Amino acid sequence: MTEKPSLEESQKISLKKKIAFAFGEVGDNTAMQTFSFLIFTFYFAIVGLPVLWIAAGFILWSVWNSINDPLIGYLSDRTKSRWGRRIPWMVGATIPLAIVMILLFTPPIDLDSSSINFIYFFVILVLFDTTYTAFNLNYNAIFSEMYVSMKARSSVGKIRISFVMLALIFAFLLPTLIINNILGVIPDTDPPISDPNTLGQYQLTGIIAAVIIVVSYFIILKWGVKEPKHISKDAETAMSFTNTIKYTFKNKSFQWFLIPALGTWIVINILPTLAPLFMTHALEIEDTELIGLLLALQFIVAALSTPLWEKIRIMKGARAAGLIGILVWIFPIIIFAFSSSIEMAFIVQIFNGIGLGGGLYFYDQCIAEIIDEDEITHGTRRSGIYYAVLNFLIRISAIINFFIIAIVFTTTDWYTYSPNPDVNTILGLQILMGVYPAIVLVISWIGMYFYPIKGEKLIENRKKLTELHEKKQKMHK
């Protein structure tokens, strides 16, 4: 598949700028994965909120997301400033997101009031989503605008992946080095005794995450981003909000993509959400550091597998990479849930990571293809609204997960946290970690099969996009 030299290739974006851009992955993944890894365990086991209250909080959160995410995406696409459309949002979100990471772990639990703790929990969910979306959405949008060709996106993508691995160490391993008892219970005590140091250790984790976010975001904003002027001018031709939503969801390619995208995030999010409970009770891992290592292993292998999926994409396209990746992912995820030993779990996680790598790779590549196709159709690049819908989809995946978790936990008499679950509870955890994700992945594979941007259509889209960008550049010189 031969492409004409892209505009960003002619501008020769330096390696320094590419590396600085990739630093955004450190703060981005530290924020999201720390949130995913600790939020459920903290409010369920440490704060003591009943699981149905937590599920209710996430359902209400989804109502906010249905308004917040598309609105931020729409406003981002229409933003006019001397710095472009995306950068002002990224700057404005940095400090608030860092503050929220600290507030995540500072609920008023001394008041011993579930209703007050629930209100705090819901408010902090809203604040996290708003600040995280404001940065993440625009970070991803500006990536597809700075780097247009598949070659350029792959080149920068490799650098980003290396920084993702660094972020995963911060998000999964660092908390386990700080938090001695992640479930808040001193081991080998009968009856179980709460560890008075756990709350402060969670709060220290939040503070460190905040510092990482500020430093990494400063680097990308200072040296890593510069919006192409010919694309930032698209703010002047942006659609109305009604038409923006209408034409986004009328996009056939996007419609099919939403199925595997939602499925991928359901499966990605279920592991860190239940990892502390599952690994402590089902796998009987007492060493907190091992929990973080086992969790990080899958994501690190996923990052390392990127060259494999890139080769498949070059040979067969992003659709094929998605089909193969999802298929590879289905079987080890079931085996992992029913692992009979820690050693077996570690081995299976390697194969889980390879499948996850394919899932993440097709996700990034396909959404960029969809945004390209949309720009060809409408003449205006609307990255913001597409990433906004995807951010909303990620939150919906969390809602679905917590709804399923609430059903399973309440039917196994785990309405509130108990450090000594019985066999039925363990079986429930295994179903949530294995059978449920496997069913979701089968549905995702079907959606990926019907994804239409492939073969000759993809080649034609690349040709038309290059011609359109050359025309825009001439217009705005």
DSSP 323-347: HHHHHHHHHHHHHHHT-SSHHHHHH
Name the DSSP class of 14.
-
Is residue 275 included in any domain, yes or no? yes
Q: Please tell me the distance from the alpha carbon of residue 304 to that of residue 327, in angstroms, as a whole number.
A: 18
Q: List C-alpha distances in Å: 383 to 47, 179, 250, 275, 351.
A: 39, 39, 16, 33, 33
Global confidence as pTM: 0.77
Cis amide linkage into residue 187, ω under 30° from 0: no
Is residue 471 included in any domain, yes or no? yes
Is residue 459 included in any domain, yes or no? yes
Task: Give pLDDT, residue 3.
Answer: 47
Residues of the chain by 3-state class (helix, strand, coil), percent to 5: 80, 0, 20
Is residue 5 included in any domain, yes or no? no
Give SS3 for 154. Answer: helix
Domain that holds residue 123: 18-475
In the chain, which stretches have pLDDT less than 50?
A: 1-3, 5-10
CATH number for position 418: 1.20.1250.20
Q: Which residue in 362, 139, 366 sits closest to 251, CA to CA?
A: 366
Give SS3 for 430. Answer: helix
Give SS3 for 421. Answer: coil
Residue the block writes with tokens 């984790």 = 205
Is residue 103 included in any domain, yes or no? yes
Which residues are registered as beta bridge partners of 194?
Answer: 185
Residues 6+ apart with CB under 8 A from 465: 148, 372, 375, 376
Name the DSSP class of 431.
I
Task: Give pLDDT, residue 476.
Answer: 60
Structurally, how many domains does the chain consist of?
Answer: 1
What tokens does 98 get?
């860092």
Name the DSSP class of 282.
T
Is residue 130 included in any domain, yes or no? yes
Task: Give pLDDT, residue 24.
Answer: 93
161 and 309 in contact (C-beta within 8 Å)? no
Task: Give pLDDT, residue 111.
Answer: 56
Is residue 12 included in any domain, yes or no? no
Which residues are registered as beta bridge partners of 186?
Answer: 193
Is residue 2 included in any domain, yes or no? no
Q: Please tell me the distance from the alpha carbon of residue 222 to that of residue 220, in angstroms, as a whole number.
A: 6
